[in-house]
Amino acid sequence: MNVESFLSSEIFKWIVIPLLIFMARILDVSLGTVRIIFVSRGLKYLAPLVGFFEVIIWLLAIRVIIQNLNNVACYIAYGAGFAMGTFIGLQIEKKIAIGNSIIRVITKKDATELIEHLREKDYGITSIDAQDLRGKVHVIYIIIRRHDIENVAGIIREFNPQAFYTIEDIRLVSRGIFPLRKSRLPHLPVIGPFMFWRKGK
């Protein structure tokens, strides 16, 4: 079978073309998901670059769809590619974990050991005494890089399984204390209204 006959065959029409559309949609929607996340993180140079490739791939997919309006398989592939691309985009974002988060911990149990352990790991900690409807509690604020969320959450559960904590993304951190990493410079010990300190060396 030569190339011309293959391009006009039923296999190419009902299998190859839908598969190409499916793959193109996975790619462009994944890029779109990552682009939106970049925008929310304030990455003003990466977001337009990703958007450029996203739109180019989308245009190619739409062009093929228009050329095959009578092919139901193309519509199915288009929708399935969108769904899969969204899922993959979220997985990519989870892996690269760009940005910073704040963990707020509220516990009735004495938090001294938890605080000391986190400070030993070089996490910036702000702790205050507070009051809820049931009495006195300790409130702990921890500013971390997003890829450290699972590690810090595990430490909290280890020292106080009953602690209530919330995790929120934050767009901008002007300064802060973070565990030192290769190729990253240390930050100054101040962030927003909270004063942090690093354990003396």
Identity at 103, one-letter amino acid code: I
Q: What is the pLDDT of residues 13-29, one digit of tens each?
A: 889 999 999 999 999 99
Q: What is the pLDDT of residues 96-148, one digit of tens each?
A: 777 788 999 999 888 889 999 998 888 888 889 888 887 888 899 998 888 88
CA distance readout (Å), 79 to 8, 32, 126, 174, 179:
24, 15, 47, 41, 43
| Domains of the chain by residue range | 3-96, 100-195
pTM for this structure?
A: 0.65
Its CATH class, for the domain covering 100-195, is alpha beta
Can you tell me which residue has the tokens 């691309």?
85
